[in-house]
Structure 1
Amino acid sequence: MAMNVGGDSGEETPLSDINTTPLVDVMLVLLIIFLIAVPVVIQTVELELPVLPFEVTTTKKENVLLSITTTDAAGRDPGEEGYSGATPGGNCRVYWGTSPVDSNELVSKAVKQLEDQIESFGGVENMTPEDMPEVHIRGDINTPYKCIGGAIYSMQRAGFAKVGFISTPIAVE
């Protein structure tokens, strides 16, 4: 006993229903991603970051110590008689160790320092990231970011990848 369901007129009509399940799945995943990412991007709260105690670390002799400050209100450099401290409106002053340097001299000294370090290892291929010299920056509290940022940029142009900041240690109770 055979049963014929529906009429067979010989014409096959294509099934035109689109499967929307994968589309809905992708849209839900994107919605979740945006719900997580958007609050991070939008919220910009001004913070006063905490001052924390730090561990004392040893330094290598090939590391570079930069001291960055500005002239005082009267235009005097640090070390000059009557210097009253860095002022935000003063001219930037960068010291390599204790010697003052301008931005061009800073880059050339940094390149030379890096080349000497690489040469002492017989080439960069023989060095590990720990062998690369670091830049340690001592920035006066009243020095504008443009002075410190300019020094960091100069050191990056020279090839230094690791920069650290030196601060006054706080008392740990």
Structure 2
Amino acid sequence: MAMSGPSGGASARRGRGRHRAPMSEINVTPLVDVMLVLLIIFMITAPLLASAVPVDLPESRAKPVETEEQEPVQLSINADDTLYIGEEVVPEADLPARLEAIAREAKEGGKPPQIMLRADKGLDYGRVMRVMGELNHAGLSRIALVTTGSETAAAIAEPAVTAGSDSGQ
């Protein structure tokens, strides 16, 4: 009885054959931390990536308009001639009443809001002008036409200026 088996005594625990059991628990704290950081990043960047109304904007060399502390009103016209105020579809017949309501709210607040007009580049010019006429009729005259910046438009306009200055010599 001098010898003890693998299950008995202190000598079995102190010997060379001591092995740790594999870790069967997963530490989820780092996983939760990483997921929360990713969630915050996506929450911040998602609204900046895309506008809710898909519009193929024309290109322009114009400089960006600086907006004020008041949130501008987004008015969009899709390629299929659908009108949106913000992300809400507005029927053509309801547009004058909705614009007058926006103008009325602005008069109560003091300063009229900036209107950001986003129109698809394939639309008829007359269609865009009719919407601008409705804006003007409602008393909303602070209108900005939204475009995309273009390096190709700048490259096309640059030779035209150079050619005009060469012809004067």
Normalising by structure 2, report the TM-score: 0.48
Structure whose residues are more often helix by fraction? 2
